[in-house]
Amino acid sequence: MPSVCFYFQVHQPYRLREFRFFDIGVDNDYEDVEKNRAVMQKVAAKCYLPMNALMLELIKRHQGRFRISFSMTGSFIEQCLEYAPEVLESFKKLADTGCVEFLDETDNHSLSFIFSEDEFRAQVARHRKRMEELFGQKPRAFRNTELVYSNSIARIAEDMGYDVVLAEGVDSILDWRTPDFVYHPEGCGRIKLMMKNHKLSDDIAFRFSDHSWEHYPLMAETFAGWLKGMKGGSDVINLFMDYETFGEHQWADTGIFDFMRALPDFVLADPDFDFLTVSEAADRYPARGWIDVPYYTSWADAERDISAWIRNDMQKDAFRALYECQFLAARVDDSELLEDWQRLQCSDHFYYMCTKSAADGNVHKYFSPYKAPADAYVNFMNVLADFRIRLLAKVGQ
């Protein structure tokens, strides 16, 4: 019986306000509160609230046979509490159905694993505590920021007690294999690995509204037919994507909500198919071998590596300067400073500094609040300079 596993990432970053050189040492108000509020409330109205209502409708209509998984960042949760508490309540209603699983990740949507295992473990522990307090779940599954993955990340996730870890189904890694089975990570003993089917996931997340695409307009019956065509050659079809795909990246007038409303009907019409959460799929299906990922992969850009965040000199310099603050941050007992330290680690700040061109460059520009990558770098470094001054002053007290 092949299963379909929908996993959605839910994230909103805290955007920095324009922070000039002359603000350094004078003003420690770093975030653009009005922009953060406006974006959160806009996406809540376009995506989170209607999509959560649809997910609840589908769960009830199919009497629990429709099942989904989410992971959400700490910055998303905090902005819900500040600007759109009704969104968090709608997620709690989904949790109450028993058909929704919440995964763990880095609380601050950071790339901390690359720079500091201690910081990484602390952020994941903080996120686990959030999930228990908000939804009454102790997550069994882990996904790293932007699906950044390697053997070493799997080993740490196993050590932290997780049963399954997620990764991108990178073609060069899989070689002749398919992402549509459960695997074991190389070098691990117990933990399982589930990999995104990027072809089918991106058909929904990126190509759905592309008028030049040969399959436009994509109908739910067509997509379900593609899934059913995989019967016999798959155990679990992993459809991983940003939740903001629905209503924000793909607007409602593209038909994306109608597509999602109809899809479970066509899938479940075949009694050989069902929907599972991430952990349920890992429990049901045996590992079909070992996957070796000796270097970092991700779900971003054509390269599916970490070059979206760590490629050019601006990004490398910004990361270096940021994590030079770690030792000082560990020595302070100041909730405001520590909150700033955590939020400054958000990977979005470095994504905005990316200088790629062509299709990937257009995606970066779409998400960036800056006119150019250099503006993102200068602004971030001005903020970081002020933050470092405050850290030094506190340590010197």
Residues contacting residue 34 through CB under 8 Å, at least 6 positions apart: none
Give kind and range of the element (H or E) at residue 236. strand 236-242
- Residue 174's Cβ-count burial label (10 Å; 0-12, 13-18, 19+) is middle
Q: Which residue in the list 146, 244, 248, 280 is annotated as catalytic?
A: 146
Classify 135 as helix, strand or coil: helix
- Going by C-alpha positions, the residue among 202, 206, 169, 164 that lies closest to residue 184 is 164
Respond yes or no: is residue 146 known to be catalytic.
Answer: yes
SS3 275: strand
Residue appearing with tokens 């209603």: 93
In the sheet that holds 192-196, the strands lie side by side as: 141-142, 164-168, 192-196
CB-count burial class (<10 Å; 0-12, 13-18, 19+) for 108? buried
Distance CA 346, CA 145 (A): 9
Compute CA distances 151 → 67, 106, 118, whole Å: 28, 17, 18
Active-site residue numbers?
146
